[in-house]
Amino acid sequence: MDDDKRIDSFDDLFEPFDLDDAPEDDSAPPPPIASEPEQVAQVPCPSCGTANPEYNRHCEACGARLGSAPLPVAPPPMVRNTPGSRALGVLAALVLVVALGALFFNFFNGGDEEAAPQETTTTTTEAPQLVLTRLIPTSVEASSSLTGFEPEGLIDNDPTTIWNDASNRGNGATLTFRFQQPVQIVEMEIHNLTDEERFTRNYRVQGYTITLDDLATPVSSILEDTREVQTIEIPSVRTTELTFEVKSVHPASTWNGAIPYDELAVQEIRFYGYATNG
């Protein structure tokens, strides 16, 4: 008994040996050595003097701002486009495109074309159109006339008064018209008798010659045998005297058994043109 107790106590003297445990490998890397924490720079608070990490913007003790750098600003809110703003933008872009197009067009084409000369407008005043007026002679003189049928009846504007020549059935008869002031005669009208019987029974002017004191060349022609008014064109300039000479006549004839007259008859002679100054 005592021996067993001695053995138990003897075993207790030794550490148990277990072959299952693997021997430690001397080649394994040593465990990592913990690095010392990095020292952060400290910034003193300008208000209370407390040291703060440099990345702090405000003091941990008093809350005062540590640095002068501007605080971060939040981005502005996004502008929301409205239909009106979009239309305004499109219009502005269109105006810009048109302006640029006009600028380029003028730049590339302006040198090829010469500047158009400025047009000057002048206002012209048209001279009033002259209107033919009747020119009344101050006197008329005949180479011959029957009593009561004087030449003044030719210019009195009265169709009932006529002139009858008293010689040679009118051949070679003359009428001289005078004007107080120089006139420009354009037309001369010959009025034969309008009454058919008297027209037929009297001689009528056929060939004539007109002489004017302002023309070197006389005017000559032939009248038709008609009761209609006949117009003679006169190239007068400044006439004061005109002579009408009968060169030939249309013959008189009977009317319903009544014998013809031996005289030349004219009912009216009129002049048309313009009065001149002086």
Beta strands in the chain (DSSP E): 42-44, 51-53, 133-135, 139-142, 163-164, 174-191, 204-205, 207-212, 219-222, 230-233, 239-246, 249-250, 265-266, 268-275
pLDDT of residue 102: 78
pLDDT (0 to 100) of residue 55 = 73
Task: For residue 43, give the nearest of 54, 58, 32 by alpha carbon.
Answer: 54
For the segment 215-264, what is each residue's pLDDT rounded down to a tens digit? Answer: 999 999 999 999 999 999 999 999 999 999 999 999 999 999 999 999 99
Alpha carbons 249 and 222: distance in angstroms, whole number? 10
Mean pLDDT along residues 62-76: 67
Would you say 60 and 50 are in contact if contact means Cβ atoms under 8 Å apart?
yes
Residue 256's φ and ψ, nearest 5 degrees, are 50, 45
In this model, does residue 272 exceed pLDDT 80?
Answer: yes
Q: In this model, does residue 13 exceed pLDDT 70?
A: no
CB atoms within 10 A of CB 267: 23
Please determine, for residue 62, whether its predicted confidence score (pLDDT) is greater than 70.
yes
- Rounded to a whole number, what is the distance in angstroms from the first to the last CA of the chain? 194
Nearest to 244 by CA among 226, 275, 263, 269: 269
- What pLDDT band is residue 12 in, cutting at 50, 70 and 90? low
pLDDT score, position 114: 54
Of the pLDDT bands very low, low, confident and very high (cuts 50, 70, 90), residue 99 is confident
> pLDDT at position 194, please?
97
Q: What is the mean pLDDT of the chain?
A: 82
According to the model, what pLDDT value does residue 273 have? 98
160 against 41, higher pLDDT: 160
The predicted pLDDT at position 220 comes to 98
Q: How many CA atoms are closer than 13 Å to the CA of 1, on its beta-carbon side?
A: 0
What tokens does 268 get?
A: 């009216």
pLDDT computed for residue 125 by the predictor = 65
Q: Please tell me the distance from the alpha carbon of residue 120 to that of residue 15, in angstroms, as a whole number.
A: 134
Domains of the chain, each with CATH number or no CATH: 40-69 (no CATH), 133-275 (2.60.120.260)
Q: Tens digit of pLDDT for each residue in 117-152?
A: 566 666 666 666 778 999 999 999 999 999 999 999
Q: How confident is the model at residue 52 (pLDDT cuts 50, 70, 90)?
A: confident
